[in-house]
């Protein structure tokens, strides 16, 4: 039985990007790993090419197809049902692993028992140039690792998760925005410990045309419904982490999503803010006293204060002036 099942959902991923993603598993043997590719009913007809590629793979690989296009988490569910590994990891099809770093992850998972492991990621551009590191393993290695894990988690792909945790927690399949966030939080809350791994195997490829940048305001507002579902279905498990989940709502619903709307659909920002603010005041009426508003460095930024308070026009003016000064100086 493999130690780790790596699940890679894909939908119309460019073939070159998909080949880059799976290349290490085609050319090298990782006996403790199995790879499960899940085609979420791509309209591009390249299943035959993928089948031929994995037929000679050095690492165990399988290809599955969903019965209909259901989104990334729906495809992940298909992979979870097929997985034989003790643990599960997720890899997006346009991203890839640095395998030297991933081998460090395998070693820790083999030698140190836990239900949950986290590792770091490096954001890169399309050429592989490193842009910045997401150092979540360091951030959760303090005195309250589970609380910090829940406070900082946003994606599924920088965790190695005990497969049994998916029997208690199903992934949210109803969202286009924030599906990772509202799926990973209950999983973390059901784990009793986490081991941070000082390795950065994940290469997160940033594209200007990513789904996040294309999503409209209605999709972003659906995150509120995702939070409602999560809070209703997991009240008991989430209760000890009230401050951390409240912080996640402040960060994502009052700050991050409005920031994206201001960049893409500024005329929709005020309407979104009214909805988001009313929801926050109802579900988290004491959110203004959240302790992380005082301790998190990101909460001290001017743009955070302006956007969470709904001062969108001031933010846009300040942003325009700052950009103009930068352009003049450069």
Give the chain's domain count: 2
Kindly tell me the sign of the dihedral angle through the C-alpha atoms of 289, 294, 298, 300: positive
Q: Are the C-beta atoms of 226 and 179 separated by less than 8 Å?
A: yes
Same domain? For 88 and 184 the reply is yes
CATH number at residue 124: 3.90.550.10
Whole-structure pTM value: 0.91
Q: Which residues contact 214 (CB under 8 A, 6 or more apart)?
A: none
**Residue-by-residue DSSP string for 7-50:** EEEESS--HHHHHHHHHHHHHS--TTEEEEEEE---SS--HHHH
Same domain? For 196 and 246 the reply is no
Cα–Cα distance measured from residue 90 to residue 160, given in angstroms and rounded to the nearest whole number: 8
Domain termination residue (choose one: 209, 233, 255): 209
Cα–Cα distance measured from residue 118 to residue 156, given in angstroms and rounded to the nearest whole number: 10
Same domain? For 144 and 220 the reply is no
Same domain? For 158 and 249 the reply is no
Q: Which of 55, 132, 119 is nearest to 89 (CA)?
A: 119
One pLDDT digit (tens) per residue for the chain, 330 residues: 899 999 999 999 999 999 999 999 999 999 999 999 999 999 877 878 899 989 999 999 999 999 999 999 999 999 999 999 999 999 999 999 999 999 999 999 999 999 999 999 999 998 889 999 999 998 888 778 999 999 999 999 999 999 999 987 888 888 878 899 999 999 999 998 999 999 999 999 997 655 444 567 788 888 999 999 999 999 999 999 999 999 999 999 999 999 998 888 888 888 999 999 999 999 999 999 999 999 999 999 999 999 999 999 899 888 777 777 767 766
Same domain? For 203 and 219 the reply is no
Give residue 11's domain range. Answer: 4-209
Kindly tell me the sign of the dihedral angle through the C-alpha atoms of 127, 131, 136, 142: positive
Q: Are the C-beta atoms of 158 and 121 separated by less than 8 Å?
A: yes
Same domain? For 296 and 161 the reply is no
Cα–Cα distance measured from residue 270 to residue 262, given in angstroms and rounded to the nearest whole number: 9
Long-range CB contact pairs, 107-110, < 8 A, 24+: 108/195, 108/197, 108/199, 109/3, 109/4, 109/160, 110/3, 110/32
Q: What kind and span of H or E run contains 124?
A: strand 121-124
Cα–Cα distance measured from residue 285 to residue 218, given in angstroms and rounded to the nearest whole number: 24
* Other Cβ atoms within 10 Å of 276 Cβ, number: 24
Q: What is the pLDDT of residues 167-209, one digit of tens each?
A: 878 888 888 788 999 999 999 999 989 999 999 999 999 976 5
Q: Are the C-beta atoms of 253 and 276 separated by less than 8 Å?
A: yes
* Other Cβ atoms within 10 Å of 14 Cβ, number: 13
Cα–Cα distance measured from residue 195 to residue 210, given in angstroms and rounded to the nearest whole number: 31
Cα–Cα distance measured from residue 157 to residue 117, given in angstroms and rounded to the nearest whole number: 11
Same domain? For 31 and 175 the reply is yes
Domain termination residue (choose one: 209, 236, 268): 209
Same domain? For 202 and 222 the reply is no
> Residue 212's pLDDT is what?
41
Same domain? For 276 and 186 the reply is no
Same domain? For 243 and 103 the reply is no
Same domain? For 219 and 105 the reply is no
Q: Which of 185, 264, 273 is nearest to 229 (CA)?
A: 185
Same domain? For 320 and 177 the reply is no
Cα separation values, 251 from 235, 244, 248, 278, Å: 20, 11, 5, 15
Domain termination residue (choose one: 175, 209, 243): 209
Cα–Cα distance measured from residue 25 to residue 182, given in angstroms and rounded to the nearest whole number: 30
């Amino acid at each position: 039985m493999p130690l780790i099942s790596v699940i890679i959902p894909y939908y119309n991923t460019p073939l070159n990007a998909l080949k880059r993603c799976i290349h290490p598993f085609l050319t090298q043997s990782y006996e403790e790993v199995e790879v499960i590719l899940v085609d979420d009913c791509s309209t591009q007809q390249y299943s035959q090419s993928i089948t031929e590629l994995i037929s000679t793979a050095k690492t165990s690989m399988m290809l599955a197809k969903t019965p209909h296009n259901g989104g990334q988490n729906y495809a992940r569910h298909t992979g979870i049902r097929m997985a034989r590994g003790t643990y599960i990891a997720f890899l997006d099809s346009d991203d890839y692993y640095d395998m030297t770093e991933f081998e460090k992850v395998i070693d820790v998972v083999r030698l140190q028992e836990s239900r949950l492991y986290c590792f770091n990621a490096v954001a890169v551009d399309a050429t592989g140039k490193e842009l910045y590191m997401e150092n979540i393993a360091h951030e959760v290695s303090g005195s309250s690792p589970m609380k910090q894990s829940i406070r900082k988690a946003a994606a599924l792909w920088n965790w190695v998760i005990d497969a049994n945790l998916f029997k208690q927690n199903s992934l949210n399949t109803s969202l286009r925005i924030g599906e990772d966030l509202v799926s990973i939080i209950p999983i973390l809350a059901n784990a009793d410990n986490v081991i941070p791994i000082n390795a950065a195997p994940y290469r997160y490829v940033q594209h200007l045309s990513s789904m996040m940048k294309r999503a409209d305001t209605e999709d972003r507002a659906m995150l509120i419904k995702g939070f409602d579902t999560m809070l209703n279905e997991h009240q008991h498990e989430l209760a000890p982490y009230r401050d951390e989940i409240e912080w996640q709502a402040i960060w994502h619903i009052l700050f991050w999503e409005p920031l994206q709307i201001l960049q893409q659909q500024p005329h929709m920002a005020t309407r979104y803010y009214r909805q988001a603010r009313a929801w926050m005041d109802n579900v988290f009426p004491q959110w203004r006293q959240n302790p992380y508003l005082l301790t998190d460095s990101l909460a001290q930024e001017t743009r955070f204060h302006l956007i969470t308070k709904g001062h969108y026009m001031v933010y846009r003016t300040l942003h325009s002036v700052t950009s103009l000064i930068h352009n003049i100086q450069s």
